[in-house]
């Protein structure tokens, strides 16, 4: 590691939402900075004016906040730093480490077409490299369009020690004189990145290995400017289940989608950290604080990680299980209010404490925050009817009259229970003699009446949470509904 204080950065382009790969890059840079007591910078690389989106930019910031990755500096926007890039480009021009190129798009395309026909490698032929400064400046001053190209040193190689892959070497003769300033005055990606990393004191860059080919260009720029370059770590890409690069065809890749789907940040951060890093190949569960403490660049993997949404669901359910009930219920409450508009919540049940009791009875069943709708929607409203198919099943299994009598007898017994607790309610019904029905059939009728469905959390916990009055009303209401349904 460098003696300098660690400074990392996350530098997304606002041309789309933050995806899984970008979120992992942000996380690794954040963990590395915090591990070594450094700073984490957020930079928005918005020089692609045709594709930038303000909505995407805001969504990226929102996703990072959701993950709990608080940046120390920024966000810095490249579009507001054009004078800085121009200053460094002029420095390179004055030192003959860059030059103006007046070649037209037509000329360059003709050259490329010729090389394609020959099956060869195309590189700019450096026609404008030999222009003397006076002619170059005169043509620029006359209004002739030009770009600024970086002058690749003749011969030699670029070498760097990658945190993941070890020493990598690139021969200069396979690189052409790449553009650093476009004809519209905007900087190109590699130039702006190098200038910003220098200006912002970035010491370490962790990114996907699809950026390996950019690194020699950036190192050449650092060398030409006479400044220290950061260290690099290029982590393997994330693949889909079919072992191809993760993309939209594998399903949602935007981090925002996972938030809306009911995943929690603790699970997302934990799982993302394990896509390309591990502590000991056996420890699975980490908090963000534990990841900071245990993080080490020596534990980066060298093979691509495979994203598995089922594994993420497993992490999500596991983290929800171990959460203190107050924290879990607040997450459920806030999620329901924001993302489940179809969940009908009567005003009198729109209360965090009540949500806490409902979340408690849902127990370990919640894989996603939204599962509260499937398991416990009936806890939040008293205005519902019993589905015809449920009533048909009860009538088929028991007969309408017998089922209605059983429900009313159950209501009488429950009304007389002294201690209205789950244990006492279960004990009373286990010992009850109702229409010659065994305990499991009584539980089915009870569950049907209280939840209007055949699956629910523990039914005696449900009854206790609903309370005596609401439970009795529902039992009697189902009895009446069965009689009416039978008569039709």
Q: Which residues on adjacent β-strands are paired with residue 270?
A: none
Q: Are residues 145 and 94 in the same domain?
A: yes
Please give the C-alpha separations between residue 195 and each of 199, 217, 309, 361, in angstroms, as whole numbers: 6, 12, 38, 56
Enclosing domain of residue 344: 323-371
User: Tokens representing 320?
Assistant: 């929800």
Q: Is 248 annotated as a binding residue?
A: yes
Give the residue, 131 or 49, on which the prediction is more confident: 131
Strand order in the sheet with 179-181: 98-101, 147-150, 179-181
Last residue of a domain, one of 311, 345, 371: 371
Domain count across the chain: 5
Q: What is the mean pLDDT of residues 382-407?
A: 95
Examine the pLDDT at 10 and tell me if it is beyond 80: yes
Greater confidence (113 vs 420) lies with 420
pLDDT, residue 281, reads 83
Distances (CA, A) of 8 to 30, 381, 388: 7, 50, 60
> Measured between alpha carbons, how far is 75 from 81 in angstroms, rounded to an integer?
12
Whether residues 36 and 105 share a domain: the answer is no
Q: Do 117 and 130 fall within a single domain? A: yes
pLDDT digit string, tens, across residues 423-445? 999 999 999 999 989 999 999 99
User: End of a domain among 319, 338, 363?
Assistant: 319
In angstroms and rounded to an integer, the radius of gyration of the C-alpha atoms of the chain is 32
Q: Is residue 382 part of a domain?
A: no
| Average pLDDT over every residue of 96-118 | 91
Domain-embedded: residue 448 = yes
Domain identity same for 264 and 396: no
The three-state secondary structure class of 304 is coil
pLDDT score recorded for residue 488: 64
Structure-block tokens of residue 105? 């798009």
Domain assignment present for residue 1? The answer is: no
Which range is least confidently modeled, 16-20, 26-30, 47-51, 320-324? Answer: 47-51
Quick one: CA torsion of 470, 471, 472, 473, rounded to 10 degrees?
A: 50
Percentage of the chain exceeding pLDDT 70: 98
Mean pLDDT, to the nearest integer, of 455-481?
97
Asked if residues 76 and 47 have their Cβ atoms less than 8 Å apart, the reply is no
Asked if residue 457 and residue 431 are part of one domain, the reply reads yes
Q: How high does pLDDT run on average in the chain?
A: 94
* pLDDT tens by residue, 62-99: 999 999 999 999 999 999 999 999 999 999 999 999 99
Residues 431 and 467 in one domain: yes
Q: What is the pLDDT of residue 1?
A: 44
Do 70 and 90 share a domain, yes or no?
A: no
pLDDT of residue 2: 47
Residue 453 backbone phi and psi in degrees, to 5: -155, 175
Assess whether 19 and 49 both reside in one domain: yes
Coil, strand or helix: which one is 272?
helix
Q: Within a 13 Å sphere around the CA of 390, how many CA atoms are in the beta-carbon half?
A: 18
SS3 content of the chain, % helix, strand, coil (to 5): 55, 10, 35
Whether the pLDDT of residue 485 is over 90: the answer is no
Cβ–Cβ < 8 Å for 49, 78: no
Question: Residue 377 falls within a domain, yes or no?
Answer: no
Q: What gap in Å lies between CA 427 and CA 257, rounded to an integer?
A: 45
Residue 89 · residue 99 · CB < 8 Å:
no
pLDDT, tens digit (0-9, with 9 covering 90-100), for 334-375: 999 999 999 999 999 999 999 999 999 998 999 999 999 999
More confidently predicted of 11 and 122: 11
Say whether both 438 and 348 belong to one domain. Answer: no
Closest to 325 in 3D by CA, of 372, 286, 281, 358: 358
Q: Is 248 a catalytic residue?
A: yes
Q: Is residue 378 part of a domain?
A: no
Instruction: Show the tokens assigned to 117.
Output: 């026909």
Residue 176: CATH number of its domain: 3.90.800.10
Determine the pLDDT at residue 398. Answer: 93
219 plus 286 within the same structural domain: no
What percent of the chain has a predicted confidence (pLDDT) above 90?
Answer: 89
- Are both 234 and 305 inside the same structural domain? no
pLDDT of residue 37: 97
Write down the pTM of the prediction.
Answer: 0.92
Q: Residue 154, CB half-sphere, CA atoms under 13 Å: how many?
A: 2
CATH number reported for the structural domain that contains residue 308 in this entry: 1.10.1160.10
Q: Is the pLDDT of residue 247 over 80?
A: no
- What is the distance, to the nearest Å, from the Cα of residue 243 to the centroid of all Cα atoms in its chain? 20
Largest CA distance in the chain: 107
251, pLDDT greater than 80: no
Position 293 in a domain:
yes
CA distance 216 to 157: 9
pLDDT over threshold 50, residue 215: yes
Report whether pLDDT(259) > 70.
yes
Catalytic residue among 248, 282, 310, 433: 248
- The closest alpha carbon to 253, from 233, 268, 234, belongs to 268
Domain assignment present for 392: yes
Please give the pLDDT value at position 118. 77
The CATH number assigned to the domain holding 202 equals 3.40.50.620
**In a domain? residue 467:** yes
H helix or E strand, kind and range, residue 234: strand 231-235
The CATH number of residue 392's host domain is 1.10.10.350
| 213 in the same domain as 66 | yes
Domain boundary among 319, 343, 361: 319
Please name every residue paired with 202 in a beta bridge, in sequence order, or none if there are none: none
Tokens 């939040």, residue located: 380
CA nearest 434: which of 455, 462, 404?
Answer: 404
Residue 285, Ramachandran bin (φ over 0: left; ψ between -120 and 50: alpha; else beta):
beta
């Amino acid at each position: 590691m460098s003696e300098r204080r660690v400074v990392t950065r996350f530098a997304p382009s606002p041309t789309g939402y933050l995806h899984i790969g970008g979120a992992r890059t942000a996380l690794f840079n954040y963990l590395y900075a915090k591990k070594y007591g450094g700073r984490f910078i957020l930079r928005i690389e918005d020089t692609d004016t045709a594709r930038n989106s303000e909505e995407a930019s805001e969504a990226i910031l929102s996703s990072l906040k959701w993950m709990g990755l608080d940046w120390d500096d920024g966000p810095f926007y490249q579009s507001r730093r054009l004078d800085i890039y121009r200053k460094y480009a002029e420095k390179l021009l004055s030192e003959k480490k860059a030059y103006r190129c007046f070649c037209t798009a037509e000329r360059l395309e003709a050259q490329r077409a010729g090389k394609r026909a020959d099956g060869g490698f195309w590189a700019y032929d450096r026609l404008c490299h030999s222009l003397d400064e006076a002619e170059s400046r005169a043509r620029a001053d006359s209004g002739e369009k030009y770009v600024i190209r970086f002058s690749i040193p003749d011969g030699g190689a670029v070498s760097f020690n990658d945190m993941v892959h070890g020493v990598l070497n690139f021969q200069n003769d396979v690189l052409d004189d790449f553009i650093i300033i476009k004809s519209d005055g905007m900087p190109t990606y590699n130039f702006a990145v190098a200038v910003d990393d220098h200006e912002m004191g970035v010491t370490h860059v962790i990114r996907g290995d699809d950026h390996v080919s950019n690194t020699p260009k950036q190192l050449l720029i650092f060398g030409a400017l006479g400044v220290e370059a950061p260290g690099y770590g290029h982590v393997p890409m994330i693949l889909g289940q079919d072992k191809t690069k993760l993309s939209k065809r594998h399903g949602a890749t935007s981090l925002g989608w996972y938030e809306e789907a009911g995943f929690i940040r603790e699970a997302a951060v934990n799982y993302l950290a394990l896509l390309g890093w591990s502590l000991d190949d056996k420890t699975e569960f980490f908090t963000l604080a534990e990841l900071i403490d245990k993080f080490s660049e020596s534990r980066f993997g060298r093979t691509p990680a495979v994203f598995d949404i089922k594994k993420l669901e497993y992490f999500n359910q596991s983290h929800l299980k171990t959460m203190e009930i107050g924290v879990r219920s607040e997450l459920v409450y806030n999620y329901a209010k924001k993302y489940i508009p179809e969940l009908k919540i009567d005003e009198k049940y729109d209360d965090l404490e009540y949500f806490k009791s409902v979340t408690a009875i849902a127990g370990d069943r919640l894989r996603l925050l939204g599962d509260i709708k499937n398991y416990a929607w009936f806890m939040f409203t008293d205005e519902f009817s019993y589905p015809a198919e449920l009533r048909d099943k009860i009538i088929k299994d028991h007969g309408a009259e017998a089922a209605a009598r059983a429900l009313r007898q159950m209501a009488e017994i429950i009304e007389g229970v002294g201690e209205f607790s789950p244990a006492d309610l279960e004990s009373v019904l286990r010992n009850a003699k109702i229409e010659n029905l065994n305990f499991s059939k009584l539980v089915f009728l009870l569950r049907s009446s209280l939840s209007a469905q055949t699956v629910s959390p523990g039914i005696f916990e449900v009854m206790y949470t609903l309370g005596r009055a609401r439970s009795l009303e529902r039992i009697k209401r189902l009895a009446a509904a069965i009689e009416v349904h039978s008569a039709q």
